Amino acid sequence: MLQFTLNNAMNVEKIQHEDPEISVYVIDDFLANPEGLMDYARNKAYFGRIGDDKTAYPGIRDRLPSAYEHSLGEAIKLVFGVRSPQIHRCMLSLTTLHPDRLSAAQKMPHVDSLGNDQFASVHYLCDNSHGGTAFYRYRLKNLVRLREDNFGVISEMMDGVMHSPEEHSGYLSGDTSLFKQELMIEARLNRLILYPSNLLHCAVLSSPKSLQNDVTAGRLSVASFFRLEEIPINQ
């Protein structure tokens, strides 16, 4: 039976940016047995085709079983002090899409949802040679988070990306005339990061090897999405 256990020695840190809208929790050494998860990825996971999960994720995915959701839920309770987080899904994810095939939306920061009670997490099953996750500001409107009242800027951002191909020709890395990188969290094996899912963010890919269709050598992670109902979110 597949089981995952929290590491009693895990380290939890809250990173608070000077902009109060940007805060990220980082848990190092999250699972006591990350090898079991990596073994699952190598031998049992069924990765579909790009786009099978109905998202814009630039790679292939498989939904993880409830055993992982349980362990993530325990970490969420610990970090946020809630009793019953609602976990929507946990997706084993391997980035594989070549930069030449990216859409405009995949060349810029994105949000996963608009609600202040919605959060996301990334659990890295790779090392820092695979980049990390960056959080951005849209310079033209001075926005780091999107909500119902400003979601319309997405189309404006996409237009800007399409009209500046010299700056936005592949995966976003660093600053451009449209986007300012405010914070970057490096990948690290068995590191879990948690953040409001309406923060503008994107993966940082620092090497071509991060696009390998190989769970052992590629950029393997778990992307999860959850909701907190019990506390007012001002993170």
What pLDDT shows up at residue 19? Answer: 92
DSSP string, 66-84: HHHHHHHHHHHHHHH--S-
Task: Please give the helix or strand (H or E) that residue 180 lies within, else none.
Answer: strand 179-186
For the four alpha carbons of 204, 102, 115 and 75, in that order, the dihedral sign comes to negative
Q: What are the extents of the domains in the chain? A: 11-227
% the chain with pLDDT above 70:
97
pLDDT at residue 234 greater than cutoff 60: no
- Position 229 confidence tier, pLDDT thresholds 50, 70, 90: confident
pLDDT at residue 145 greater than cutoff 50: yes
pLDDT at residue 93 greater than cutoff 50: yes
- Position 101 confidence tier, pLDDT thresholds 50, 70, 90: very high
pLDDT at residue 232 greater than cutoff 50: no
Q: Taking residues 33-46, report their average pLDDT.
A: 95
Task: Please give the helix or strand (H or E) that residue 223 lies within, else none.
Answer: strand 220-227
Q: Taking residues 130-156, report their average pLDDT.
A: 95
What pLDDT shows up at residue 235? Answer: 46
This prediction's pTM: 0.95
Question: How far is it, in rounded angstroms, from Cα 138 to Cα 67?
Answer: 37
User: What tokens appear for 68 in the block?
Assistant: 């992982």
Rounded to 5 degrees, φ, ψ at 42 are -75, -35
Question: How far is it, in rounded angstroms, from Cα 213 to Cα 196?
Answer: 29
pLDDT at residue 62 greater than cutoff 90: yes
pLDDT at residue 131 greater than cutoff 90: yes
pLDDT at residue 24 greater than cutoff 50: yes
Q: Give me the amino acid identity at 89.
A: R
For the four alpha carbons of 79, 18, 171 and 159, in that order, the dihedral sign comes to positive
- The CATH number of 11-227 is which of 3.10.110, 2.60.120, 3.20.80, 3.90.580? 2.60.120
- Position 3 confidence tier, pLDDT thresholds 50, 70, 90: confident
What pLDDT shows up at residue 2? Answer: 79
% the chain with pLDDT above 90:
91
- Position 167 confidence tier, pLDDT thresholds 50, 70, 90: very high
Distances (CA, A) of 201 to 8, 108, 204, 215: 30, 8, 9, 23
Tens of pLDDT, residue by residue over 169-197, are 999 999 999 999 999 999 999 999 999 99
Q: Taking residues 208-231, report their average pLDDT.
A: 92
What pLDDT shows up at residue 231? Answer: 54
Tell me the average pLDDT of the chain: 94
- Burial of 1-23, coded b for 16+ CB within 10 Å and e otherwise, reads eeebebbeebeeeeeeeeeebbb
Q: Shortest CA distance to 113 belongs to which of 49, 25, 52, 201?
A: 201
Question: How far is it, in rounded angstroms, from Cα 141 to Cα 26?
Answer: 28
- Position 1 confidence tier, pLDDT thresholds 50, 70, 90: low
Q: Taking residues 46-68, report their average pLDDT.
A: 95
